[in-house]
A and B are shown apart, each in its own frame.
Chain A
Amino acid sequence: MHDKTWIAFDSVSFQYEHIQIVENLSFCLKAGEVIVLFGPSGCGKTTILNLCVNLLQATKGTIIQNTKEIGYVFQEPRLLPWKTVVENVELVMDKKQRDRKDAVKALQQVGLSGQIIHQYPQVLSGGMKQRVSIARALVNEPQVILMDEPFSALDMKLKQDLQRDLIEIIQKRQVGILYVTHDATEAIRLADRIFILEEEKCRIRQELLLDTKHICRTQAFVDEKYDKIYQSFMGG
């Protein structure tokens, strides 16, 4: 992990129609680091990601972005139905610096190649659509990727394959990842740090540091940390 900070939240609060959704949140996302935001549904995890890319504006505090290259894998694939798979990836590409080859390469990274990349999204399965969405996030070689439960709709095998691919990408490119999930096992497999969030106001209840290398995270390791997360989550 490098020391370069890509995104920094400094006492950030966000209020929507008099409801405090995020209160006084501070953290830094560094290059090559994976931060997992772990918390119950509706606690405001997606709001944090949306604040990072200015889809929402913080009502208090400051958000520092040291990069403009940010990829976002939404909870839904958000593909244009009238564009083919490869055209969907090309849509967000910086055309001055990249061409179709880069789009094809990004798709290959997520296991999509051959005729399938010239098909329209409606013929793809949910898992394939989400892979296209991941390829779209990777194509500009971003320094930060925001991922909002990207693998929740996938089967176990595909989920594990993509998690492995993701770890490879993080290690190769030193990408900073802010990852939202409510799957504790997934959080333990991917994270460098896990923020266990409270149900209200998105406060960090506990920060869990996982300094073991991803490759060494055995099932026993996952089980041990799982208990810890579970206890913290239940307020123990």
Chain B
Amino acid sequence: MKASTITNKSGWRIQIGTVLLLLLIWQGLSMYFSALLIPSPVETLFAVFHMIKSGELFGPLLLSGGRMLIGFFTGMGIAITCDVLAGYFSWFYEAFRPVVSLILGIPPIILVVLAMVWFGTGGMIPILVIAVLVFPTFFLNTANGWRAIDRQLLEMAAVYRCSKFIVLRQIILPSLAVPVITAISLAAGSTIRIGVMAELLGSDSGIGASLVLARININTDKVFAWTLVSIVLIFLIERFVIEPMKKSAFKWQKKAMENI
């Protein structure tokens, strides 16, 4: 059987083709149904431009973005601190595993409801829910990465009496690059999705609250516009934050492959 090989260039063409096909289906559906149910892609774009012009877009976007960043980095910080402890003390890793399983088992919506019961509504809800939900992704990925650090390299460094800083900078951090970047990649998308959902249910400001307002006023074009903004946001983070991080961390692999 002939193996199929897809070059980078034709890969892009296929992806653009898929996006165009989806737009075509969307356009077709919008022509069939009322604009109150499914606005067309052009109407959605107009709604985005209108929101930019009226200042409706950037305020909630910045507010939600800020909350998402705080929640993301809080969850990541706590997870990495726990990982360092788990790396040094295996009992700590074992002790935390049930906690991680518990968090993984809770549907995000239940966490939002509980947070609303305990803390009322407001900006803290999305921050708290994001922090709690990104924690297991970072904890598990980094802990597995930590446990997979090549012990032979650490032994080599010990024999040559390399300083702790060199061991951390040259062996531990590069070894953790793959799991941490994988965790960032997984958590970034879910941060936006969970953040919007938490705001929608438990906050009176931000993207989620704007969505509620648009739904109440039956501004379906705005609902679609916010959805489009969220998708674009995830795409931009993937393209301009995660991809460059991956490239930088795996530069050596690319260079090595070029020389084979």
Residue positions of A touching B, CB distance < 8 A: 53-55, 68, 70, 72, 74, 76, 78, 80-83, 91-92, 119-120, 122-123, 136, 140
Contact = CB atoms under 8 A, between A and B. Distances in A.
Interface string B162-200: 100010001100100000000000000000000000000
A55 B151 CA distance: 12
A80 B171 contact: yes
B174 A80 contact: yes
A122 B256 contact: yes
Contact of A80 (B153, B155, B159, B256): B153
A169 to B, nearest CB: 18
A123 B158 CA distance: 26
Given A72-B159, A80-B170, A91-B166, A120 B152 contact: no
Contacts of A72: 156, 159-160
B259 interface: yes
A150 B151 CA distance: 19
Given A80-B171, A83-B170, A120 B252 contact: yes
A78 B152 contact: yes
B252 A82 contact: yes
Contacts of B156: 72, 74, 78, 92
Contacts of B157: 91-92
Given A72-B159, A91-B160, 10 more contacts: A53-B158, A72-B160, A78-B155, A78-B156, A81-B256, A82-B253, A91-B157, A92-B162, A122-B260, A140-B160
A120 B252 CA distance: 7
B2 interface: no
